[in-house]
Amino acid sequence: MSNFLKKSVFWGGLTATIIAVFIGGVYFGYNNSPEAQKVIGVTRKDVPVSFSEIDFESFWKVWNLVESKYVANGELDRQKMFWGAIAGLVDSLEDPYSVFFPPKEAEIFESSVRGNFEGVGMEIGMRDGILTVIAPLKGTPAERAGIRAGDQILKIDDTVTAGITIDAAVNIIRGERGTIVKFSMFRDGEEEPLEIEVARDVIEIPVLETEQKEAGIFVISLYNFSARSTEVFREALREMIQSGSTKMIIDLRGNPGGYLEAAVDISSWFLPIGEIVAREEFGSGEEKFYKSRGYDIFKNLPLVILVDRGSASASEIMAGALSEHGIATLVGQKTFGKGSIQELVELEDGSSLKITIARWLTPKGRSISEEGLAPDVEVEYTKEDFDAGKDPQMNKAIEILLER
């Protein structure tokens, strides 16, 4: 090419003229192009959404206005702007269980899933847009501090919880062992908010406890559906048989759930093979069925399951299945209503998206998320009962079994 230019000044001048015209055209076109194209030109990325369906012009215009007019535009963190835009997109779903995590938050969340964290030991969720305690876990600092299922969390330390996401709240609550976290909570029956301090600790949760009651009634208090719960539940059943008990109470109060497979496996001790334990409904309308493995060692066993507003997720799946198949009588209060399934998607830049992909339905097709589970026999458990050491729900369950 250089030899050619030496031989022809004319062609060199013409080339320069063409380049100048091209640059001028690009500049004119850029200033008159859609806002999105300006940003695309800078980022060198393609827009992954069809503009024929949604007009993104306003979004890109705002981006460019921030770039050009914001007083501190020389200090813009464009990566943070980008993550903020994604977070806003996910927030618009108005689903408290769908959350976008930038890389740092994604690492914290993934460590909590692995169990490498310290905290107060309670499950939280959203009820009517209010951050609410699903249940304090058995033997944890939250339970010892007097936190109860249904408590509404107004403040965590100095952070007001109005508009907060569940995962943001969890990140504030968790912390180093021995440190203090302060809660301001509203509780039914109390006129003023409660101020509760909890010392964080390593959380160790027992799977279950057993107790022999009068007249051959055996009680299994199941606190979670963990990886170990299926094995430990099987040992509890062996203990029951060896004791000569002929009636059973399964206490799922305050059980926030856990693994679906554990709920299916434990339910299988009471259902014939092939009976539906739960249905998984996807946005496309497709359904997946989870069926009993048919251990079914009990025939006509008088069975009561205790539930309350701290019973959620896998607890609701098991209680709903055994109730609808006519195996168990539900006693207590309406359950929490946490019947959705989330998938964690890891993204290339280290961020991740936790998104609700399906909903749980009972064998008969009732939505757990929308309705929760109403007990067959409703029994309140009041503050006065708690303070007096009474348990009217357990007493009712025993009364029902004594009549059978």
Q: Rounded to 5 degrees, what are φ and ψ at 131?
A: -65, 120
Tell which residue, 284, 329, 285, 290, has the closest CA to residue 307.
329
Tell which residue, 93, 159, 100, 90, has the closest CA to residue 131.
159
Helix (H) or strand (E) segment spanning residue 99? strand 99-101
Does residue 315 sit in helix, strand or coil? helix
| Active-site residue (options: 338, 340, 351, 396) | 338
184 annotated active-site: no
| Active-site residue (options: 275, 324, 351, 396) | 324
Tell which residue, 209, 213, 207, 218, has the closest CA to residue 249.
218
191 annotated active-site: no
324 annotated active-site: yes
Instruction: Give me the numbers of helices (H) and strands (E) for the chain, helices first please.
Output: 14, 19
Does residue 31 sit in helix, strand or coil? helix
- The tokens 């339905």 sit on which residue? 361
Buried b (16+ CB within 10 A) or exposed e, 345-363: eeeeeebbbbbbebbbbbb
Q: What residues are annotated to the active site?
A: 313, 324, 338
